Amino acid sequence: MISDRGFPRYSVQTLQPTVMWNNEAHPKIEIVNVSLSGLQIKSSAKIPCKKINELDLKLKQQEYSVSVKIVWDKIKNDNFFYYGVHIKFDDITIYDQWLTFIKALHLYFQRKKT
């Protein structure tokens, strides 16, 4: 058994990724942090959620598309809606792309710490 926080989480707010939620642009959504297994997102408006949702992140020239499921949500003191999002990989290529992205963030944060 391990805690829910198995994989490290990386803040990507400064990278300001463009977010598509279920194939629609959703400017109110911000990505708080990401990990290999999920993301935390925040929004000034409630996000319409299906059982399985499609999330697309665009960071400069790179684009990542993952299937996600909301596992928790709460409204914090700043009146934003926060969501815990779990990623489920069904395609090895998408997993490899996401892993490469996470590895790059890991190295960046490692260097930043030292």
Q: Which residues bind other proteins (CB under 8 A)?
A: 1-8, 36-38, 86-92, 95, 99, 102-103, 106, 109-110, 113
Nearest approach, Cβ of 31 to other proteins (angstroms)?
18
45 or 108: CB nearest other proteins: 108
List, in order, residues 6 or more apart from 108 with CB less than 8 Å away. Answer: 10
6 or 48: CB nearest other proteins: 6
C-alpha distances in Å from residue 42, one per residue of 17, 39, 62, 96? 13, 10, 21, 26
State the Cα–Cα distance between residues 84 and 72, nearest whole angstrom: 5
Nearest approach, Cβ of 78 to other proteins (angstroms)?
24
Q: Are 108 and 59 in contact (CB under 8 A)?
A: no
26 or 34: CB nearest other proteins: 34
28 or 106: CB nearest other proteins: 106
Residue 60 φ/ψ region, left for φ over 0, alpha for ψ in the -120 to 50 degree band, beta for the rest:
left
Nearest approach, Cβ of 104 to other proteins (angstroms)?
10
